[in-house]
Structure 1
Amino acid sequence: MSRTVVVGAGLAGLAAAMRLAAAGREVTVVEARDVPGGCCGTARTGEYRFDTGPSVLTMPDVLAETFAAAGEDMERWLPLRRLDPYYRLRYHDGSHLDIVPGEEAMIEQVRRLCGAAEAVRYRRFRARLGELFAAEWDSFIDRDMTRLRELARPRALMRLAALGGFRRLDRLVGSHLTDHRLIKAHTFQALYVGLSPRTALGIYAVIAHMDTVGGVYFPRHGGMHAIPQAMAAVAEKAGAQMRYGVRAVRIDKDASGVAAVRLDTGERLAARDVVVACDLPAAHAGLLPEGSGDWRLRRPRYSPSCLVLHFGLDRRLADQAHHTLHFGGRWHSGFAELTSGRPQSDPNILVTYPESDTDAAPAGHATLTALEPAPNLDGGDWGRLAPRLEERLLGRLSDLGYGDLSAAPRLGFDPPAWARLGHSAGTPFALDHRFRQTAWFRPAGAARRVPGLHFAGMYTAPGVGVPPVLISGRLAAERILKAGR
């Protein structure tokens, strides 16, 4: 059998490894860290354990399909629970909106906050979100965009245009809804793709569909890091070899394409296929062989970054949702500040309180995480900004009712810390999703001039987020199996 080496044991690399090993390929996964997970990481301070990567899990069927491709039932390895509410949105005027499961229950939440007329408009808008999702999923999100012809789908493009997918996101949502609070509830997701609602295309309303209609989930045990742990275990069961604490330093090629992967141990792993599932700009800086360059990365436009503070609490919080988004008072100007490389003067803050993750803290204690969007390393003097923004975030949390957390055990990540963890430009959100970095215009999933060299992860299509990176891993595996090198 010809060997496939997967560089990086993040979600994308693990998704590829699970499928390839289950298909009978000889697979070796090389991971520089001591545990699987990549961006979906974990860390400890004292008796407290924190998830250091994504906190929002949507589209669990994509994850279940990954396990099923390896012949396994996800529920056996990774039982999930649906959050209720998915989010609690707290507005600057003191009002709040819970995003809850079920169409009628959600319409009632809208009626309570925004009135009967807006509830009628919301019902129609919710249906439009479903139409957009259906138009995009099979034709663009769940499809390999390595070849240009996959983008040229006239009927699908015409359908998206008719639904408003090529309008600006804020205008699309504003054409259906009138209450500014409800509009914010369905446009803040633009930041997930590194843009403001005024610049993001309407196609990204599908993220609001995933969040507010499809729902948000969480592992019943072990936090979000339980996801890569379970995936790695299934990959090993299928026959993949996991090599932790080992770094790939160079990919060799010969006349037929990929030939081997060199490790920092001095080993040379012969390979006919390689899946690069790590930070792609960093890989282009030395890991990849000659001829694997991609013109799409000549002028990369990176997403903003974030300041994250993880706290260990000596108490549990009453009536606290798993995810609470506190909106600042400056909506459009805040996005403009961030995307131009400046800290937001009145930032939106996501607070995550994983109460059900009881093993993350001692009995009677809990963990809490606050995330504030921030410029990446392309903007701002972080030697000066970091302490000021951290102090401001502590003050804001106190004002929001979380108490004085300055003396609580804590762990922080700012753009320089993200850079030390291997994220280009100090952002864990990769490239933004402007039109010129979307679908076929995003870095390709395969090197055209180096057969056997494939890419997966958030730098490739479909892009950023747990479901997209899982899909990218599946697409890489499918290309390899189809080529049969």
Structure 2
Amino acid sequence: MSWMQKMVRRENVSLNTRTEPVPAGPDAPHAVVIGAGFGGLAAAIRLGVRGFRVTLLDRLDQPGGRARVFEQDGFTFDAGPTVVTAPFLFEELWSLCGKNLSDDVELVPVDPFYRIRFDDGTHFDYNGDMDDMVREIRKFAPSDVDGYKRFLEKSEEIFDIGFEELGHVPFDDLTDMLKIIPAMVKLQSHRTVYSLVSKYVEHPKVRKVLSFHPLLVGGNPFTTTSIYTLIAFLERKWGVWYSMGGTGSLVSGLSDLIDEIGGTQRYGADVEQILVDNGRASGVRLADGEVINADLVVSNADVGWTYRHMIHPEDRDTWTDRRVENMNYSMSLFVWYFGTDRKYEDVEHHTILMGERYESLLDDIFHNKELAEDFSLYLHRPTKTDPSMAPEGHDAFYVLSPVPHLESGVDWRVQAEPYRQAVSDYLEQTILPDLDDHLVTSRMLTPREFLTDYKSLKGAAFSVEPILQQSAWFRPHNRSEDVEHLYFVGAGTHPGAGMPGVLSTARVLDTTVPNPDAFSPTRAPQQEVTV
């Protein structure tokens, strides 16, 4: 049986052959987790090993959320995240369940991390080796080598505080934020990523190479707080990895862990409302009317959608409709998944194709909310590392283009195919010659599907935008300010988007969720009602 076949709808699955950790008993407090993305899967594991009875619900027909998997015409496509960093966060989840990650998932390093191709045809191979990076920088600007080394030192300094010290700390109270202000000032957090990079290097191409990372987590390098320059050191410290079989193999492995610790997983279960009783989360109601009672609820659904559409306004004093709508949300994405009947051997695993415009294009996407005629692209070719993702002699790809979210007013039912053709033409003219002649399978994901499939407010691909005014204490909290026993994981809460960030949001639950003995369960775990 393939790992994809194992990712079918599961309900009330429990493997009781293991003795460590011990599955929670029927009288243990019941935790309902909404959404089986990486945040929800990690939350279910962490709560399960602490002794909670866990029910994980997702409206899709498989785990993964944005990291779900498409299979089509013999090709396997990871729908979402493809860049695996900080693998210790995955290893920790396996360890909590008494297992080793390597028993279930094979991670292999990717080198270069990225090939960054500029519009004039030159390219920069980016990785974690100092000698290689110096050599690449010297191709464009020998005078920037010393500045690059000083930038790395600053990135490490920011990493030590921003990730190691604060990445797993809940910011429940304003005093938590006040305590770190001196460190934030010292780290120059008021600067943007691009501003901080520009302090150290001068060549425009080198600045692009060192500043694009916020786009991987939904941020604009020209407005995202410079705290996110820690990504440069994070990648250097732990590398960039690929999970053989695709990111979906990590999803499948996490789903299996939940089974093994006695958790319940239900797919095709669309949560319509979080029930609140006297200011406390008491369960959820599904779209078909079924009520599932709970002692606590964890939402891995989009935080904006959760507050705006899943909790009655009378139960929200802090996160009112107006406040939710007025937050700044990330850009969205146009994603095209496609396969070819030939291989493009000179194309790397991760390629970033920079368009001629940089700041002004990002202005169109984030501020003007206009769909520009030009674009910058990220191209994923997993078959460079893992030929099993496509039929023999074929290549699997996905290409994504950052685009404005749905406040742009673009009708993607009309615009999707012309936009796909424009992307295809650009790829054919640059690094995939004769693409149209070799195309054998194709599908698209647009901002419209980020809304309809993932219930992401405004079709934003990464939820709340990571600007300084929406970071740490200013971000929607991991523990709800409005509803007791309601918690959040995922891209929209602290510390933010990206695999390390989302997995860290679940880590925060270890601090914010009391131990099971603090709860006094009095309700049956499930009760069906007719509405």
TM-score, normalized by the shorter chain, greater than 0.5: yes
Tell me how far 1:77 sits from its aligned partner: 2.1
User: Mapping of 1:74-93 within 5 angstroms?
Assistant: 74-93=101-120
User: How many residue pairs align between the two structures?
Assistant: 481
- Equivalent of 1:102, from 129, 135, 139? 129
Asked if 1:361 corresponds to 2:385, the answer is no
Equivalent position amino acid for 2:408 in 1: G
Change (3 A) 1:455 1:402: same
User: Mapping of 1:15-164 within 5 angstroms?
Assistant: 15-115=42-142, 117-153=143-179, 156-164=180-188
Q: Percent identity?
A: 28
Change (3 A) 1:179 1:213: farther
CA contact (8 A) 1:275 1:476 kept: no
Deviations 1:189-248 (A, max 9, x none): 23234443322222121123334554211102x201112111111111111111122222
Equivalent position amino acid for 2:447 in 1: P
Structure 1 gap ranges (5+) = none
Tell me how far 1:482 sits from its aligned partner: 4.1
Give the equivalent residue in structure 2 for 1:382: 411
Equivalent position amino acid for 1:125 in 2: F
Tell me how far 1:419 sits from its aligned partner: 1.9
How far apart, in 2, do the equivalents of 1:291 and 1:144 lie? 22
Give the equivalent residue in structure 2 for 1:234: 257
SS of equivalent to 1:39? helix
SS of equivalent to 1:261? strand
Change (3 A) 1:381 1:269: closer
Tell me how far 1:417 sits from its aligned partner: 2.4
Equivalent position amino acid for 1:274 in 2: V
CA contact (8 A) 2:279 2:482 kept: no
CA contact (8 A) 1:460 1:472 kept: yes
Structure 2 gap ranges (5+) = 1-27, 520-531
SS of equivalent to 1:239? coil
- Equivalent of 1:186, from 210, 214, 221? 210
How far apart, in 2, do the equivalents of 1:474 and 1:190 lie? 22
How far apart, in 2, do the equivalents of 1:481 and 1:136 lie? 25
Runs of 4+ in 1 over 4 A off after TM superposition: none
How far apart, in 1, do the equivalents of 2:308 and 2:194 lie? 37
User: Mapping of 1:218-229 within 5 angstroms?
Assistant: 218-220=242-244, 222-229=245-252
Give the equivalent residue in structure 1 for 2:354: 327
Deviations 1:103-127 (A, max 9, x none): 2332233234432x32222222212
Asked if 1:409 corresponds to 2:433, the answer is no
Tell me how far 1:473 sits from its aligned partner: 1.6
Asked if 1:280 corresponds to 2:309, the answer is no
Calculate the aligned-residue CA RMSD, in Å: 2.1
Change (3 A) 1:440 1:256: closer
Change (3 A) 1:121 1:436: closer
Give the equivalent residue in structure 2 for 1:206: 230
Deviations 1:388-434 (A, max 9, x none): 32221111011113034344311111111222212221222112112
Relative to structure 2, which stretch is displaced further, 45-54 or 297-306? Answer: 297-306
Tell me how far 1:477 sits from its aligned partner: 4.5
- Equivalent of 1:419, from 451, 456, 473? 451
Change (3 A) 1:434 1:121: closer
How far apart, in 1, do the equivalents of 2:303 and 2:154 lie? 35
